[in-house]
A and B are shown apart, each in its own frame.
Chain A
Amino acid sequence: MYITKDLVAASATPLVLGILADGESYGYAILKQVNDLSGGQLEWTDGLLYPLLHRLERLGHVESAWETPPGGRRRKYYRITDQGRAELAEQRRQWATVVDALRGVWSTTESLKPSTAIKPITATPAWGTGR
């Protein structure tokens, strides 16, 4: 299944913060965990995770430190801050609202199958193109 770029981008921050809320981690492990959690459906381009991590660090949501495990390579670990936890809680509230609203729409819509009379909308939704 293809997940649009906008959705991937929007969910990236809560996913990363959520994973780090469980304990410190590093880029590759975070990516693998996202992959596992989504059953391989959420495909991030590896390199783009790092600018995101750096942004979260600049905003103070996470902090980082280089560590060298015995016999291992030097590696940059990220840890969530208290501010990051607050941000995560806030994002969670927002996502819950969105999910609730969507659920409401799904249940009132009689059929999700595109009707034969109306052509399915194939273009990107208008609110997605602005980003």
Chain B
Amino acid sequence: MTVDSDNDLERQIAEWRAYMRRRRPLHDTDADELEDHLRSRITELTEAGLQADEAFLIAVKRMGSLDEVAREFAREHSERLWKQLVLPREPDAPTAARSRRELPVMVACAIAAAIAIKVPALFGLDISDDEDAEFYVRNFSLFVLPVLAAYFAWQRRVGLRVIGVLALLFVLGAVAANAYGLDGDSQSFVLTAIHLPLALWLVVGVAYVGGEWRSDRRRMDFIRFTGEWLIYFNLIATGGGILLAFTAGTFNAIGLDPEEFIQSWLLPCGVVAAVIVSAWLVEAKQSVIENMAPVLTRVFTPLFAATLLAFLVAFMWTSNGIDVDRDVLIIFDLLLVIVLGLLLYSISARDPAARPSLFDHLQLVLVVTALVIDVIVLLAITGRISEWGFTPNKSAALGENVILLANLAWSAWLFLGFVRGRAPFAQLERWQTRYVVVYAAWAWLVVLAFPFVFDFA
């Protein structure tokens, strides 16, 4: 082999690598691995007497079409391009036509949701009126989430059976929200207003995964989607808030009072449209902000871990019991939910094959402290229940804390195994995706059964 052909071979391999790098499912380490393979084969072939360039051609051919290899990698590492719902393939004509229709369909859905929220106004239910506001609080999610589910059902071309299930669940939600005739001051009313959107959001999840709700990977996709969606929604809400402030300020300046317009038109229509637009943005623009949510979890995981630790230290130092006021309980529940969100999101954004890092240890600390706090809160709640008996609020708080406790405890156990190199990360992933069912079941239970059990209190 001459020096020339050696250089030539290196150039060819470098070109092949560059070509491979353009395929997003393939990461650098995969490219390293495949290149090592290619070189092994070239060495073998040249030793058998072939010229370097001949050997290169054969080796590349034996590797198979890079498109096909990339597709297999994408199938295996769906977290790398979870947003590409259709695995990379040659864009055929119908797909291209469909993606052109994406934007108009999204706009139509956003408008549909905006109209839906104004329909009750035709029957004299004014959203800015305090009396009627109860109706909107109870039903808010029912105006927008079915539209969102329909959008995904269209986009994923789900079958009739799945559409039937979705419709049935939304009808069930509508019945549960309205048939009981809950009093606006009752605890059950507040619980329904909180839990119905959660239950229905998971119904949207069924549409999001195109009916494949049994698939762990697809569920994880939905968890990712939820995190990204929250970020987009918050961005739009911030922008919307600024818009509202300007609208109010400028119109006031010329002596018009836009308050009623804002309260009964701009705000409700804007919020429901933003729900749809954020979902579309997540789907359409993933690569832009894809890395945002993992960054946020990285920033906030240490901060939350430090805060929780500080709280635990202070709790033990002062040996004060927790004052189990309703508001305080809610704060603790929200705190635990945020911890869980941080955990879930960092799991969903993590490369499952990566080795345990310092960040994973931090995460473990966060989970364990949250677990301890959950136990303290649980003790406080049970103490209060044994003293004053069950109320809807306390029972819901108890149930939620038990559910979180189970999740956090087993997560901590799996995390410990992972950090010590005893268990693969995938176990933790699977545990979280399977647990989603528990949340769904609980949310529906609160919405459907609690009013009955507690006599509409």
Contacts and interface: CB of A to CB of B under 8 A. Distances in A.
A60 B427 contact: yes
Interface stretch (A13-21, A43-51, A88-96, A123-131): A43-51
B323 interface: no
A64 B68 CA distance: 23
A47 B70 CA distance: 9
Interface residues of A, number: 22
Contact of A58 (B29, B33, B353): B353
Give the secondary structure class of A's interface.
helix
Nearest to A55: B76
A46 B36 contact: no
Contacts of B32: 74, 76
Q: Report, as a range, how many residues of chain B touch the other chain.
A: 20 to 34
A27 B62 CA distance: 14
A58 B66 contact: no
Contact of B424 (A47, A48, A58): A58
B69 A48 contact: yes
A28 interface: yes
Contacts of B62: 45-46
B442 to A, nearest CB: 29
A75 B75 contact: no
A60 B69 contact: no
A50 B34 contact: yes
Given A48-B68, A60-B424, A73 B353 contact: no
Nearest to A59: B426
Given A45-B63, A46-B63, A54 B36 contact: no
A47 B38 CA distance: 9
Contacts of B47: none
B29 to A, nearest CB: 8
B73 interface: yes
B353 A57 contact: yes
B426 A74 contact: no
Nearest to B59: A46
B361 interface: no
Nearest to A62: B424
Contact of B36 (A47, A55, A74): A74
Contacts of B68: 45, 47-48
B72 interface: yes
A97 to B, nearest CB: 26
Nearest to B32: A74
A55 B74 CA distance: 11
Contact of B423 (A31, A47, A55, A60): A60
B36 A28 contact: yes
B17 interface: no
B33 A76 contact: yes
A51 B33 CA distance: 11
Nearest to B421: A63
B145 to A, nearest CB: 33
Interface in B1-49: 29-30, 32-34, 36-37, 39-41
Contacts of A75: 36
A51 B36 contact: no
Contacts of B33: 27, 50, 76
Given A45-B68, A60-B426, A74-B32, A50 B73 contact: yes
| Across the A-B interface, the 4 shortest Cβ-Cβ residue pairs | A60-B424, A47-B69, A45-B64, A51-B72
12 contacts: A45-B63, A45-B64, A45-B69, A46-B41, A50-B30, A50-B73, A51-B73, A51-B75, A54-B73, A54-B76, A73-B39, A76-B29
